Amino acid sequence: MNPLVTVRTLAAAAVLLGAASTNAENLRHYEVKITNATKAQVFSPPVLVTHSRSVALFEVGTAALDELAEVAEDGVGQPLADFASTLPAVIEAQATSAPLMPGASAVYAIKGTRSSVLSSVGMLVNTNDAFFGLNSRPLPKLKGQSLAYTVVAYDSGTEANNEDCAFIPGPACPPNSGNARSPVDAEGYVYVHNGVHGIADLIPSSADWRNPVARITITRTR
């Protein structure tokens, strides 16, 4: 099995193994249903990417892409989708436009190939830098077939978990409280997030969660 590597590493090295063909006749169509399974965490508009196994949006234990940090800290997905779209190994990358509320689901359409996989990320907005992350999971092979995945929350490691509203964009904080970005005391690598602990402004009874935080169901439509 090939080890996961970040798209930034591959781009810098100009090594794009197994880039998928995007000829129209090779494309398959999928619906992706994302359900927010948390009690009170709003998801930022999700980013969805279909790609070959030669690239990944993130890897646990390594530094996050700058574009992933924008998702995890600010809930802004377009830079990540734009960067991913430049890579030959990526079939389609899209930044969606609407947040996903607790308990709600949304369905998105995306294209892939027989051998491509799906990744999806979005911020848990009442945090410093938490995101849900589906990482390089297989797409269903047959028309009408569905595959479902449960998804945990990760920490991008790009901002300290100070739980201070001056650094958090979500509705758990007062409007205009600010969303400063600071790498001071950040962990420096992606890891499974350990939740909200009430050390400053966030209240665990409303902002904390237990994994998994999302369920993602992929259905091949044609």
Q: Give pLDDT tens digits for 135-176.
A: 999 999 999 999 999 999 999 999 999 999 999 999 999 988
Q: Report the percent of the chain where pLDDT is more than 90.
A: 84
Q: Give pLDDT tens digits for 34-63.
A: 999 999 999 999 999 999 999 999 999 999
Report pTM: 0.90
Q: Is the pLDDT of residue 6 over 80?
A: no
Instruction: Give the chain's domains with CATH numbers.
Output: 20-220 (2.60.40.2130)
CB of 28 closer than 8 Å to CB of 220: yes
Amino acid at 218: I
26 compared with 151, residue with greater pLDDT: 151
26 compared with 178, residue with greater pLDDT: 26
pLDDT of residue 196: 98
Interatomic CA distance for residues 66 and 60, integer angstroms: 15
**174: Cβ contacts below 8 Å, ≥ 6 apart:** 165
**80: Cβ contacts below 8 Å, ≥ 6 apart:** 47, 57, 65, 67, 68, 70, 71, 93, 95, 121
Q: Quickly state the pLDDT bin for 181 (edges 50, 70, 90).
A: confident
Q: Is the pLDDT of residue 125 over 90?
A: yes
Interior CA angle at 58 toward 199 and 102, to 5°?
Answer: 50
Burial letters 105-139, b for 16+ CB under 10 A, else e: ebeeebbbbeebbbbbbbbbbbbbbbbbbbbbeeb
Interior CA angle at 176 toward 83 and 37, to 5°?
Answer: 60
**59: Cβ contacts below 8 Å, ≥ 6 apart:** 4, 5, 6, 190
